């Protein structure tokens, strides 16, 4: 096709400018709303630019013009053909009481695997420390955990919480951010088909096992439970939920027994993964507050049985939350989402 490029540009440029300004206006708003007349105009301009792109296909000149028109058309195409809801309609109450527990149950198998990997690590770590107590220096990379458990308990009880007084807020912030970073790593390693996440969960389990057996052997079980349960009752499940999200991602990548293409599988799990991660963040914020303001205080200031009871209560509530909330009432047509389910 031979066209007069100069005339073509002179005639069409006002339409391109109009479409560009319309798209730029849409870009500036996170939740844009168009009137019916604007939508019709957008569609008209999109079709017109599409036609211009087609006309330029047969012309050997102006590759830049073609690239520009294509980029304009593709932006308009995205706005027009998007069928998914762009607005982030987030109802925190519905999400907390329905979406999160329901999503958790729908992918419970992934949680089981994450828990199993951690438990296996704990058993391994505990067994190693029982067989060879000297391995503690290798398995525990943190200097504060290298100390003899009985010595540490005497020191903590002698301080009566004075060593953490005035540092609770910063401690809380540190625990929250540190644990959230670990959770992000656990999730992100799902990109290795979940293998990296399982290894990280196993390693986390090893640390737990070593510390637990070390304190139990030293006869400091009450201190251990009082120290770990209040925040660990929420923190450890939070890390496991992060592992659950990573396994959902890994499972989608593997696509075993699925007839759907990879892109479709990944598209489906997006909202599930984000639900998990938001839930993990919330759990870790709570665990961080408890760890800084409660877990670090010991006897005689705070009896161990109070701390243990607090931890048990948290755990029971967490189990009830995940197992009972968000269940459809009898006769309701609400169903547990089956898409992208980890089975």
Partner 1 sequence: MNSFAHGIEIHTPDGVTFSLVLAGLLRRFSAWLVDQAVVGVSLAAFSRLFIPVVTLFPDLATSAIILISFLVSTGYSIVLEWFWRGQTLGKRLFRLRVMDEAGLPLKFNQIVIRNLIRVVDALPVFYLVGGICCFISKKSQRLGDYAANTVVIRIPETVAHRFDRFEPEKYNSFRDYPHLCARLRQLVSAEAAFLAWDALARRNDFVDEARLRLFSEIARYFRELVQFPEEATYGLTDEQYVRNAVGILFQPAVPGPPLSAHVPEKNSGR
Query: In this chain, which of 159, 161, 168, 203 binds partner 1, going by CB under 8 A?
Result: 168
Q: How far is the CA of 271 from the CAs of 62, 172, 265, 276, 342, in angstroms?
A: 42, 29, 12, 9, 14
Q: Is 241 in the site for partner 1 (CB under 8 A)?
A: no
Of 185 and 321, CB closest to partner 1: 185
Contacting residues for 314 by C-beta, under 8 A, at least 6 apart: 229, 230, 233, 234, 290
Binding mask 3-22 for partner 1 (x = CB under 8 A): -xxxx-x----------x--
Task: For the CB of residue 74, give the shortest distance to partner 1 in the complex, in Å.
Answer: 5
Residue 266 touching partner 1 (CB under 8 A): yes
Q: Does the N-terminal peptide bond of residue 169 adopt cis geometry, omega within 30 degrees of 0?
A: no
How far does CA 151 lie from the centroid of its chain? 38
Query: Does residue 59 interact with partner 1 by CB under 8 A?
Result: yes
**CA quadruple 207, 205, 105, 194: dihedral sign:** positive
Q: Which residue carries 């309609």 as its tokens?
A: 89
Q: Would you count residue 156 as binding partner 1 (CB under 8 A)?
A: no
Tokens representing 233 are 């009752």
50 touches partner 1 (CB under 8 A): yes
Site mask, partner 1, residues 76-95, x = CB under 8 A?
Answer: -xxx-xx-x-x-x-------
- Report yes or no: 270 and 189 within 8 Å, Cβ to Cβ: no
User: Which residue lies nearer to partner 1 by CB, 81 or 329?
Assistant: 81
**Binds partner 1 by CB under 8 A, chosen from 253, 306, 315, 325:** 253
Based on C-alpha coordinates, what's the Rg of the chain? 28
Among 263, 329, 330, 332, binds partner 1 (CB under 8 A): 263
CA-CA distance, 170 to 257, in Å (whole number)?
48
82 token code pair: 């998007």
Interface residue with partner 1, options 122, 129, 189, 213 (CB under 8 A)? 189
What is the phi/psi pair of residue 156, to 5°? -65, -40
Q: Site mask, partner 1, residues 210-229, x = CB under 8 A?
A: --------------------
**What is the sign of the dihedral through the CA atoms of 141, 142, 148 and 149?**
negative
150 binds partner 1 (CB under 8 A): no
CA–CA gap between residue 101 and residue 147 (Å, rounded): 39
Binding segment for partner 1 among 130-138, 186-194, 202-210, 321-329 (CB under 8 A)? Answer: 186-194
Distance CA 298, CA 280 (A): 27
User: Quick one: which of 19, 42, 65, 247 contacts partner 1 (CB under 8 A)?
Assistant: 65
> By CB under 8 A, which span of 119-127, 185-193, 203-211, 300-308 interacts with partner 1?
185-193
In this structure, the dihedral spanned by the alpha carbons of residues 150, 154, 156 and 158, taken in order and rounded to 10 degrees, is 180
Note the residues at the interface with partner 1 (CB under 8 A): 2, 4-7, 9, 20, 27, 30, 47, 50, 53-54, 59-68, 70-71, 73-74, 77-79, 81-82, 84, 86, 88, 166-170, 172-174, 176-177, 180-181, 184-185, 187-192, 196, 249, 253, 263, 266-267, 270-271, 273-274, 277
């Amino acid at each position: 096709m031979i066209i007069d490029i100069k005339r073509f540009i002179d005639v069409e440029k006002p339409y391109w400018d109009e479409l560009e300004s319309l798209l730029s206006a849409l870009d500036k708003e996170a939740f844009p709303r168009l009137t019916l007349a604007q939508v019709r105009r957008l569609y008209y301009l999109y079709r017109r630019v599409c036609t211009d792109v087609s006309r330029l296909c047969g012309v050997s000149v102006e590759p830049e013009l073609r690239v520009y028109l294509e980029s304009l058309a593709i932006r308009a195409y995205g706005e027009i053909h998007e069928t998914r809801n762009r607005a982030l309609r987030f109802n925190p109450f519905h999400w907390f009481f329905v979406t999160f527990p329901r999503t958790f149950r729908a992918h419970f198998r992934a949680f089981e695997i994450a828990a199993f990997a951690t438990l296996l690590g704990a058993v391994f770590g505990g067994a190693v420390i029982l067989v060879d107590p000297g391995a503690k220096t290798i398995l525990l990379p943190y200097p504060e955990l290298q100390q003899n458990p009985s010595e540490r308990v005497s020191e903590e009880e002698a301080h009566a919480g004075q060593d953490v007084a005035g540092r609770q807020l910063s401690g809380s912030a540190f625990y929250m951010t540190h644990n959230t970073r670990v959770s992000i790593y656990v999730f992100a390693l799902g990109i290795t088909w979940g293998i990296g996440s399982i290894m990280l969960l196993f390693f986390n389990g090893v640390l737990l096992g070593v510390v637990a057996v070390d304190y139990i052997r030293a006869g400091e079980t009450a201190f251990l439970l009082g120290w770990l349960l209040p925040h660990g009752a929420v923190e450890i499940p939070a890390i496991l939920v992060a592992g659950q999200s990573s396994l959902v991602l890994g499972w989608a990548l593997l696509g075993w027994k699925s007839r759907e293409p990879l892109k479709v599988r990944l598209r489906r799990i997006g909202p599930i993964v984000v639900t998990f991660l938001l839930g993990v963040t919330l759990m870790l914020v709570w665990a961080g507050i408890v760890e800084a303001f409660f877990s670090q205080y010991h006897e005689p200031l705070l009896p161990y049985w109070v701390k243990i009871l607090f931890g048990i209560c948290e755990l029971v509530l967490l189990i009830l939350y995940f197992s009972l909330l968000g269940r459809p009432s009898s006769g309701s047509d609400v169903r547990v989402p089956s898409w992208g389910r980890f089975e």
